[in-house]
Amino acid sequence: MSVKTFISIDMEGVAGVATFDQVARGGHGYPRAQELMTLEANAAIAGAFDGGADEVVINDSHGTMDNLIHELLDPRAIVVFGSPKAQCMAEGLTADCDVALFIGYHAPAGEYGVLAHTFSSHFTEVRVNGAVVSEAEVNAMYATSLGVPVGLVSGDDVICRIAREQFAGVEVVEVKVAHGYTSTASLAPSVARDAIREAAARVVRNAATLTVPELPEQFTVAVDMPTASAAELAMSIPGARRTSDRSVECTVTDAGQVLGLIVVFYELAASAMYAKTALFMRR
């Protein structure tokens, strides 16, 4: 029986990563974080193959989405990278996948967690049907819409707690404990990688036992934007409603549209922030 595994890997939840200097391109710590991210990707890929996968697709899901060092990446995996992507962190996830693994994930905007945010550092909160959501939960909605269960989440203690609460039967690998927004107590990266590989193997081996929950018939996506001008730009989206000076929402009927809507929201937020910065610099 063939088993196809999808992996989405972020950077903020990787062991040994905690600061802006590490996760922002150009920072002195970024090359080290790139390597740590690539090695955790390899641990998840190797674990998937250990568990019986015959195909692994991995999505580079951090920032500009071209962080993985391809020359160091396990060559057995197909890598999806670059930005923007229509399905963002879930690009490459298809209905023929048997299980999804979320590696290096982090807490949502507004939560106490290492480098906590939801898709964009410009958003102060993202909600779906009134509930605050993390990137893991939004990506899981899309996976569920395709009939694909989420089997593994790794990251800090906060996102691992959320995963346990939200995803039935999920395994978690807690690689660090949040001590603040940019501070943590982390496992040694090698220890974290061993745990991820072992967990990935178990999850893939038992993928057929995982189930997916039912989804609601519609999704109201609400985003708290960084500025009023960003909210004004978001009103150009058909069906968007402005609920406060900086908050906008839109209702869609498909989980894939949730991801697409969030991608458009964060591009508009970034555009508004760039315009504000450019105006300030000209003064």
Sequence-ordered list of residues with C-beta below 8 angstroms from that of 280, at least 6 positions apart, any chain = none
Q: In what order do the strands lie in the sheet with 99-105?
A: 78-80, 55-60, 4-9, 99-105, 150-156, 171-180, 183-186
Q: What is the pLDDT of residue 278?
A: 46
Residue 44 pLDDT more than 60?
yes
Q: What is the pLDDT of residue 281?
A: 45
> Closest Cα to residue 200, out of 72, 122, 98, 275?
98
How large is the average pLDDT for residues 109-133?
A: 93
Q: What is the pLDDT of residue 273?
A: 74
Residue 275 pLDDT more than 90?
no
Which pLDDT band holds residue 274 (cuts at 50, 70, 90)? low
282 vs 195, which has greater pLDDT?
A: 195
Domains of the chain, first to last: 4-121+134-209 (3.40.50.10780), 219-282 (3.30.1360)
How large is the average pLDDT for residues 94-108?
A: 97
Convert the pLDDT of each residue in 228-260 to its tens digit.
988 999 999 999 999 999 999 999 999 989 999
pTM: 0.94
Q: What is the pLDDT of residue 279?
A: 44
- Calculate the average pLDDT of the chain: 94
Angle in degrees, 0-180, between the axes of helices 135-145 and 255-282, rounded to the nearest 10 = 140
What span, in angstroms and rounded, lies between the C-alpha atoms of 128 and 191?
Answer: 35
Q: What is the pLDDT of residue 267?
A: 87
Convert the pLDDT of each residue in 176-214 to its tens digit.
999 999 999 999 999 999 999 999 999 999 999 999 999
Convert the pLDDT of each residue in 61-70 to its tens digit.
999 999 999 9
Q: What is the pLDDT of residue 122?
A: 87
> Closest Cα to residue 44, out of 89, 65, 14?
14
Strands 125-128 and 131-132: antiparallel
Helix (H) or strand (E) holding 223: strand 219-224
Q: Measured in whole angstroms, how far is the alpha carbon of residue 58 from the centre of its chain?
A: 12
Q: What is the pLDDT of residue 283?
A: 52
Q: Which has the minimum average pLDDT: 128-137, 243-252, 258-267?
A: 258-267
Q: What is the pLDDT of residue 280?
A: 47
Q: What is the pLDDT of residue 269?
A: 85
Which pLDDT band holds residue 276 (cuts at 50, 70, 90)? low
